[in-house]
Chain A
Amino acid sequence: MLAQLIVSGLVNGSVYAVVALGMTVLYRSTTVVNFCHGEFFMLGAFAILVSQQVLGWSYTASILFALILLMLFGSLVERLLMRPLQNAPHISLAMMTIALSYLFKGISRFFYGREVVPLEPLVDGGPIELGSVILLPQDLLVAGSSLLIVLGFFYFFQKTQAGKVIQAASQTPRGAALVGINVPRFQNFMWGASAALGAVAGILIAPSTLVYPDMGAHMLIQAFAAMTLGGFGSLPGAVLGALTLGVLENLIGGYVSSSLVEITAYLAIIVVLVVRPQGLLGEWRQGRG
């Protein structure tokens, strides 16, 4: 039972990792904490739903459509709504992302109301037994894709020229601008990439949960919890925190009480911020926030 709980916790945690990574990347590059990231996650799932069930496209085509759409969405949000406010107080920036979060939720609720819609699984097949642990092919796909995405991100940031430019621009935007890096364009790209990461998580999780307008709200808090656990703003911390949270939720649900699962994330946030605000891996700095 313990092994099963840990393994399925890691599967859940890997989805949190993709969401938390998307938020951390944006936070690192723009110092904006995006309260509408949960809605990017929700819109990813809805994009699949609409292209499959309304337009009748195949899974592959819908996934491509969702990713491109959300990438476009993210950069439009940056260009039209966030950039004009870049010199505004930080409360205004936070309020803008909060407004967007409700706007997206309202739009999807306007069309889907209180419906909860199921999606077909991404892969078929019976459960796979590995010793005492039973996994669905869907779980393996989710964990595998998340792992690939996370590794790809780290490779991009640490090893490629473009990744290093991005790191430079997020450390000192002004310095980067002085040596000729187009900082606004890079921030625009990061909004797109972050939205696409949110969409990936939505696409991965939608078949095993259901699709509904409020699905992003809880995920946002789980991503916050993952980031806080790992250390706010640290990329490896976000991944580690997400996996820890996934396992923690399952252990508490399995051994203590299943009604505590939904508040594990809240408790984690409160305990970590009060006891060890820098989290597991983070360097503690009172940022611009």
Chain B
Amino acid sequence: MDKSLPASTGPASRGPRVRYILVIILAALLALPPMVNDYQLFVANTMLVYCLVAVGLNMVLGYLGQLAFASAAFFGIGAYVAGLSMVHLGLGSLPAILAAAVCGGLAGALVGLPALRVRGYYLAIITLAFGELMRWLYVHADGVTFGSGGFNMPGIALFGSELSGTGKYYLFLAVVVIGVGASALLLHSRYGRAFVAVRNNEAAADSLGIAVNRTKIIAFAWSGLITALAGALYAILNGRVSPDTFGISQMLMHFVIVMIGGLGSLAGSVIGAVLLTGLPELLRNFPGLEEIVFSLLLIVVLFFMPKGVGGFLSSRLPWMRERLYREGRGNA
């Protein structure tokens, strides 16, 4: 493998094959709703939500190489901002989703600030504290957030008509395609390549004239934005928002998806989300079993597939290789 970062690695430059496959997948996704029942459509919608989550978390964990625990918090912020702006301010669903994305981006930049000063485990701990603090806020700011019981979302309407499951599916699909596509473009721009440079060697990146602090803030803000977007969709999908959804077990789900998909792989993130979203549905009725299965999966992946499904596939199928992923310890 060549060791220099290629100057142009836009998605389009990876040959027509990838483009054809993306078009085929998109066509299949567009044709899906008539072929499935309501429950399967719900699961498909959940998969779309977690695709965004995985891409958002991968931004910080995989590309920037920082161990941050804030993605459940961003997810919660997205859900609360979207839900509360619809309940209290009477916003429509699209403005509410946009508001969630903006607040998520701001929260991401805020969480990125300590990342300028502390790294590694310190960052993990401070972001863990941030997530729990947000959860405390949802419970105790009950004048605004309706406290520990949570609240129900108002009906979701788009352009004046109530959204059905199929309508939600197309809305979600559009948001996910835009979110993942924009992430791919960002990653292949100079900013995205800077994420990887900072991950691989901060001092070297600095000496090459990369603004390390700005790079970190951008990565965190983008991660917050994408994950909050996912949170907004999650609230719309489930029609209910409550604080205990955004706790530590939500975080485990995010970690497992990203680790199974592969750190630093967009395709892997999507594959991980699709593979893992069906599981909680199957395991719902057994207390503790979801945690057991997820943690065992994570252990198996760490042992046998350290680069995740994305890394595994790109070592078999050269055309799937994502050029930004580089082996090495990183600095995290």
One of B117-125, B162-170, B216-224, B269-277 at the interface? B117-125
Residue contact B288 to A110, C-beta cutoff 8 Å: yes
Residue contact A98 to B288, C-beta cutoff 8 Å: no
Given contacts A110-B289, A263-B133, contact A33 B124 (CB under 8 A): yes
Residue contact A110 to B286, C-beta cutoff 8 Å: yes
Residue contact B125 to A228, C-beta cutoff 8 Å: yes
Residue contact A90 to B295, C-beta cutoff 8 Å: no
User: Which of chain A's residues have a CB closer than 8 A to the CB of B121?
Assistant: 33, 94, 232, 287, 289
Given contacts A273-B126, A274-B117, contact A99 B295 (CB under 8 A): yes
Residue contact A270 to B287, C-beta cutoff 8 Å: no
A75-118 contact mask (Cβ, 8 Å, vs B): 1 or 0: 00000010011001111101110111111011111110110000
B285 to chain A, nearest CB (A): 12
Given contacts A221-B132, A265-B129, contact A106 B119 (CB under 8 A): no
Residue contact B302 to A96, C-beta cutoff 8 Å: yes
Q: List residues 311-332 of chain B with CB under 8 A from any CB of chain A.
A: 329-330, 332
Residue contact A113 to B287, C-beta cutoff 8 Å: yes
Interface size of A as a range: 35 or more
Give Cα distance in the complex from A265 to B133, angstroms. 10
Residue contact A98 to B289, C-beta cutoff 8 Å: no
- How many B residues have CB within 8 A of the partner chain? 44
Residue contact A106 to B291, C-beta cutoff 8 Å: yes
One of B6-14, B35-43, B101-109, B247-255 at the interface? B247-255
User: Which of chain A's residues have a CB closer than 8 A to the CB of B225?
Assistant: none
Residue contact A102 to B295, C-beta cutoff 8 Å: yes
A16 to chain B, nearest CB (A): 15
Name the contact of A106 in the complex, choosing from B122, B248, B289 (C-beta under 8 A): B289
Specify the main secondary structure of chain A where it touches its partner.
helix
Interface presence of A262 (CB below 8 A): yes
B68 to chain A, nearest CB (A): 11
Give Cα distance in the complex from A95 to B257, angstroms. 12
User: Which of chain B's residues have a CB closer than 8 A to the CB of A92?
Assistant: 302, 306
Q: Which residues of B contact A (CB under 8 A)?
A: 61, 65, 67, 114, 117-122, 124-126, 128-130, 132-133, 136, 140, 248-249, 252, 255, 259, 263, 286-292, 294-296, 298-299, 302-303, 306, 329-330, 332
Question: Could you list 12 examples of A-B contacts with CB < 8 Å?
Answer: A91-B67, A96-B299, A98-B252, A228-B122, A232-B121, A259-B140, A263-B132, A263-B136, A266-B133, A274-B114, A287-B120, A289-B119
